[in-house]
Amino acid sequence: MPGRKPLLEIVGLRTQFFLHEGVVTALDGIDFTVYEKESVGIVGETGCGKSMTAFSILRLVPGPGKITAGNIFFMEPQDVRQRRMQLEIEAQEWYRRSSLVEKKKLVALYDYRDTGRKKKAKKLTPAQIDKIVPPDRVPTGVTRYYLAQNAKTMPASDKVGRAAALFSFDLLTRTDDQMRSIRGKSISMIFQDPATALDPVFTVAYQLGEVISLHQGIYDRAVLDKKIEEVLKLVRIAAPVNVMKQYPHELSGGMKQRVMIALALSCSPSLLIADEPTTALDVTIQAQILNLLRDLMRTTGSSMMLITHNLGVVAEVCDRICVMYAGRIVEEAETFELFANPRHPYTAGLLAAFPKLGERKDELSVIRGTVPNLMRPFQGCAFVERCEKATEVCGEDMPRRVEISPGHFVSCHLWTGKEGPNVR
Amino acid sequence: MEKLENPLPFHFICGTRPKHAEQKHLWTAADGGCKGKKSMADLISYVIRKILLAIPVILLATFIVFLMLYLTPGDPIVNILPPHASPDDIQKLREKYGFDQPFIVQYGKFLYRLAQGDLGQSVSRQTLNLDVSDLIIQRLPKTLELMAIGLTISYSLGIPLGVYSALKQNSWKDRSVMVFTLVAYAMPSFWLGILLMLLFAVYLGWLPIEGTVGGFKSIILPAMTLGLGNAALTTRMMRSSMLEVQRQDYITQLRSRGLPESEVIFKHALKNAMLPVITVIGLDIGWFVAGAVVVETVFSWPGLGLLVTNSITNYDYPTVQGCILVLAMFVVLGNLVADILYAFVDPRVRLG
Ligand SMILES: Nc1ncnc2c1ncn2[C@@H]1O[C@H](COP(=O)(O)OP(=O)(O)O)[C@@H](O)[C@H]1O
Ligand code: SF4
Ligand SMILES: [Mg+2]
């Protein structure tokens, strides 16, 4: 999108769980961008990795899970971003030019580091190498290797260059302390179930006060109380002073979710991640909370990443939609464009299953089959078993992400090579 | 429940204010443990109600013990009189103390006297005709001392160890703590007492074997014997509770707000994880009463427990009854304290 500043840029993000039974690839190379002042919806069935995307951004992937590849650039200045993209192209060139022996070494290194495989791959044919590292899409491991070499030769005065080469704005290069000062302050998150997401033994005021004093350094009681009251008013709580004194169990579900939103917005974050914020609520309350979120996003000018499995919700709130399937983003487009021209068979299936207003359906059309097991590595498209338009190639090659019209990306072999006219 | 008039501050009940709150003045008018929910009047009426409800329970305990003593063959009179006393003398004395009367009459007399605040006189040879209440008052501080230190050991060991274990889940450190707790809990306290005695008193000679002559030193072994088993139990409970709490959404949510790990763990998770441990403090005190009887016997610690065992062997009914009365009160009070503590720490619970 020309003219808009990216706030969060996720490139090739992969998150895996290392279990006794094997490796679960919850996120398999995700790319998307959240621009400033926009709401992006992430849609997909349960278990496709929506929450993991959110937790990965905050670097709070639980348990045996680890982010194994990719970048999460956050609030990267324009000049650094341009320089970094330049350098990435250079890295790609450099990789393409390097000899087969060197490639092998690099790929083995990358394969070892970024795919989480236990052993280094020994013998690789050129075709295998190209499969692991597609020449047009050199992954983080290799790029970072090249850039790190490059950064050493840069003069210290070249701050932009060094920041670009060292991925300084990549959240994955942050220390834990730096991450903590980002969480809740620059990026905050709302959880699905407000009933379990508030600490039951502290009052609303205490929990709000805690965040505000942590990120804004306000410790004075009166000022803090005033601030808490303001934030509660912001989320349209009628009697903030009363609610402040209450414990979570004394509040209704909708009220709790308002408090959660207050907690998330108390430090005016640039990005709000809302993970199914209305799923656990009554239908009437859902609408209220959605309206509230939409209005707050408009007035504060923050960006929002709205995660849901409900297309109706995103249609109402979001500017742009990413459709996820089995740990990958299969289609991304502006809301209107996506509803008008769904290109990926999975998106088309979702939309067909979604009853339109005023339309009566005797039977909901549901996509046949179930979500595949994420423990098994996919050779090709993850949707192949459920897809009615699948061809031979679908089971073998992973479809590339192509931009079929400006801002409309699809990963499907039906569309590979059919990039739109005014797209690079 | 009417609006609060006279709040009992949270830290008054719990002993501590969160450090964080004090340092940063976060303890605003609007938070606090019990404000707005539990008033002093509620508390007092609750306590009175609980105590009234406990009276029948305590009496039942004395009744059962009395019955058991009555049914056991044997007689205090034989112990009081010299071995060559004539059957006539025995009979006379028996009549004098009323031991010839039917069970119900004897128990009725006990109740009648109890209502007047009289626990009767001892009928064992060493303490013949002394007031039971005097005997109890004389022994009570020793038992209280032992239980207090035992409880302190048990919680000051169990809680940190449980938290540590949970934080190091599945590491060798965690495993060794778990093995230790298993052993400590499975060991009968009299055996543990004897082992500790052998090691520290006989073999190393650091601490006195028994009695109270060594001052503070002499309480260490009995208190440890009393506290270790419960410490092991507390450790396990604290560990599982902590692990459970750490899986909760609100802990992840707190992390997502950028709270430092120390606050997430030691303020939020710990406070929530303490709740189940607090609920069993009442039960623990019950166990400690039972444990004290054994430990005092092993270490000849002159408390109520030793008094009770000696009195039982001497068929000293009045003394046994008096002691049981007091020990049963311990259990009831323990439960009461735990209920109140729990209600003040967990805002979801109301007294009543
Ligand atoms: N603790 C875990 N252990 C193993 N796999 C997990 C774990 N948590 C999540 N996953 C995997 O990540 C996938 C995505 O989960 P999630 O992001 O929660 O899905 P959703 O889209 O419903 O939010 C799941 O299908 C599962 O395979
Ligand atoms: S790549 Fe093939 S299997 Fe996958 S969605 Fe497209 S047509 Fe279907
Ligand atoms: Mg989810």
Residue A110 CA to ligand 1 centre (angstroms): 25
Measure the CA–CA gap between B236 and B244, rounded to whole angstroms.
12
Nearest CA to ligand 1 atom 25: A47
Environment class of B74 (CB within 10 Å of its CB; exposed 0-12, middle 13-18, buried 19+): exposed
DSSP A213-253: HHHH----HHHHHHHHHHHHHHTT-S-HHHHHH--GGGS-H
- In this prediction, residue B14 carries a pLDDT of 34
Residue given tokens 């706030």 in the structure block: A7
Give the largest CA-CA distance in chain B. Answer: 86
Residue A45 CA to ligand 3 centre (angstroms): 9
How many beta-carbon pairs below 8 A join chains A and B? 108
Measure the CA–CA gap between B155 and A324, rounded to whole angstroms.
50
Q: Write the residue in B32, B257, B272 that is nearest to A200 by C-beta.
A: B272
Low-confidence residues of chain B: pLDDT under 70:
1-39, 214, 352
Q: Which residues of chain B lie closer than 8 angstroms to A193, CB-CB?
A: 249
State the total domains in chain B: 1
Helix (H, G, I), strand (E, B) or coil at B1: coil
Instruction: Indicate if A114 and A150 belong to the same structural domain.
Output: yes
The answer to whether the Cα torsion of A289, A290, A291, A297 is positive or negative is positive
Are the beta carbons of A273 and A305 closer than 8 angstroms? yes
- In this prediction, residue B188 carries a pLDDT of 85
Instruction: List Cβ neighbours of B315 (8 Å cut-off, separation of 6 or more).
Output: B69, B72, B74, B75, B76, B79, B123, B124
Interval A22-48 mean pLDDT: 90
In a domain, B77, yes or no: no
Instruction: Indicate if A162 and A234 belong to the same structural domain.
Output: no
pLDDT band at residue A358 using 50, 70 and 90 as cut-offs: low
Please list every protein residue whose CB sits less than 6 Å from any atom of ligand 1. Answer: A 17, 19, 24, 26, 44, 46-52, 62-63, 65, 374
Residue of A nearest to B23 (CA): A219
- In this prediction, residue A214 carries a pLDDT of 92
- In this prediction, residue B27 carries a pLDDT of 36
Environment class of A209 (CB within 10 Å of its CB; exposed 0-12, middle 13-18, buried 19+): buried
The structure's pTM equals 0.81
Last residue of a domain, one of A242, A268, A294: A268
Reduce the secondary structure of A101-113 to three states and give it as a string.
HHHHHHHHHHHHH
Here the tokens at position B79 are 């112990």
Measure the CA–CA gap between A174 and A327, rounded to whole angstroms.
24
- In this prediction, residue B30 carries a pLDDT of 38
Domain around B185: 141-313
In a domain, A413, yes or no: no
Instruction: List Cβ neighbours of B218 (8 Å cut-off, separation of 6 or more).
Output: B207, B208, B210, B211, B212
How many Cβ atoms from other residues are within 10 Å of residue B298's Cβ?
Answer: 21
- First-to-final CA distance of chain A: 12
Q: Write the residue in B30, B252, B346 that is nearest to A205 by C-beta.
A: B30
Element (H, E) at A34: strand A22-35
Q: Hey, are the CB atoms on A249 and B347 less than 8 Å from each other?
A: yes
Instruction: Indicate if A111 and A148 belong to the same structural domain.
Output: yes
Instruction: Indicate if A257 and A207 belong to the same structural domain.
Output: yes
Mutate to test the interface with A, among B13, B23, B24, B241 (most CBs of A within 10 A): B24
Query: Phi and psi (nearest 5°) for B171?
Result: -85, 175
Here the tokens at position A121 are 């791959």
In a domain, B124, yes or no: no
How many Cβ atoms from other residues are within 10 Å of residue A237's Cβ?
Answer: 21
Does residue A367 have its Cβ closer than 6 Å to ligand 2?
A: no
Helix (H, G, I), strand (E, B) or coil at B326: helix
Last residue of a domain, one of A268, A289, A317: A268
CATH of the domain at B278: 1.10.3720.10
Interval A10-23 mean pLDDT: 87
CA A304 to each of CA A52, A154, B292, B315: distance values in angstroms, whole numbers, following the listed order: 16, 36, 62, 80
In a domain, A388, yes or no: no
Q: Which residues of A321-351 are buried (b: 16+ CB within 10 A; e: fewer)?
A: bbbbbbbbbbbbbbbebbbeebbbbbbbbbb
In a domain, B155, yes or no: yes
Q: State how far residue A260 is from chain B, nearest Cα, in angstroms.
A: 9
**pLDDT tens by residue, A258-294:** 999 999 999 999 999 999 998 888 888 888 899 999 9
In a domain, B145, yes or no: yes
In a domain, B67, yes or no: no
pLDDT band at residue A357 using 50, 70 and 90 as cut-offs: low
Q: Write the residue in B28, B248, B258 that is nearest to A181 by C-beta.
A: B258
Are the beta carbons of A411 and A332 closer than 8 angstroms? no
Measure the CA–CA gap between A47 and A64, rounded to whole angstroms.
17
Measure the CA–CA gap between A88 and A82, rounded to whole angstroms.
10
Q: Where are the beta strands (DSSP E) in B89-242?
A: none
Nearest CA to ligand 2 atom 6: A412
ipTM of the complex: 0.86
What type of residue is A259? Answer: V
CA A32 to each of CA A41, A72, A89, A348, A381: distance values in angstroms, whole numbers, following the listed order: 11, 10, 19, 20, 18
Q: Hey, are the CB atoms on A196 and B346 less than 8 Å from each other?
A: no
In a domain, A91, yes or no: yes
Environment class of A358 (CB within 10 Å of its CB; exposed 0-12, middle 13-18, buried 19+): exposed
* Residue A380: alpha-carbon gap to chain centroid: 22
Question: What is the radius of gyration, based on Cα positions, of chain B?
Answer: 25
Edge-to-edge order in the sheet of strand A271-275: A187-190, A271-275, A303-308, A39-43, A320-325, A328-334, A408-411, A401-405
In a domain, A149, yes or no: yes
The answer to whether the Cα torsion of B281, B283, B284, B290 is positive or negative is positive
Instruction: List Cβ neighbours of B266 (8 Å cut-off, separation of 6 or more).
Output: none
Here the tokens at position A108 are 């083995």
State the total domains in chain A: 2
In a domain, A275, yes or no: no
In a domain, B308, yes or no: yes
- Tell whether B170 lies on the interface with A, counting CB pairs under 8 A: no
Instruction: List Cβ neighbours of A97 (8 Å cut-off, separation of 6 or more).
Output: none
CA B319 to each of CA A350, B139, B141, B322: distance values in angstroms, whole numbers, following the listed order: 81, 12, 17, 5
Measure the CA–CA gap between A260 and A257, rounded to whole angstroms.
5
Mutate to test the interface with A, among B253, B278, B279, B348 (most CBs of A within 10 A): B253
Q: Write the residue in A191, A197, A205 that is nearest to B28 by C-beta.
A: A205
Edge-to-edge order in the sheet of strand A22-35: A22-35, A6-19, A65-74
Q: Which of A17, A306, A330 to mutate to test the pocket of ligand 1 (most atoms within 8 A of CB)?
A: A17
Element (H, E) at A190: strand A187-190
In a domain, A116, yes or no: yes
Last residue of a domain, one of A234, A268, A302: A268
Domain around A96: 77-168
pLDDT band at residue A110 using 50, 70 and 90 as cut-offs: low
Q: Hey, are the CB atoms on B255 and A183 less than 8 Å from each other?
A: yes
Choose among A387, A381, A423, A385: nearest CA to A400: A381
Helix (H, G, I), strand (E, B) or coil at B152: helix
Question: Long-range contacts made by residues B178-184, C-beta under 8 angstroms, separation at least 24?
Answer: B178/B236, B178/B239, B180/B232, B181/B231, B181/B232, B181/B233, B181/B235, B181/B236, B182/B232, B183/B232, B184/B228, B184/B229, B184/B231, B184/B232
Does residue A412 have its Cβ closer than 6 Å to ligand 2?
A: yes
Q: Percent of chain A having pLDDT more than 70?
A: 86
What type of residue is A254? Answer: G
Does residue A328 have its Cβ closer than 6 Å to ligand 2?
A: no
CA B271 to each of CA A42, A209, B9, B17, B104: distance values in angstroms, whole numbers, following the listed order: 36, 18, 17, 12, 51
Measure the CA–CA gap between B41 and B47, rounded to whole angstroms.
10
**pLDDT tens by residue, A396-413:** 888 888 888 888 999 999
Residue A424 CA to ligand 2 centre (angstroms): 23
- Hey, which residues does A190 pair with through a beta bridge? A274
What type of residue is B50? Answer: K
Does residue A80 have its Cβ closer than 6 Å to ligand 2?
A: no
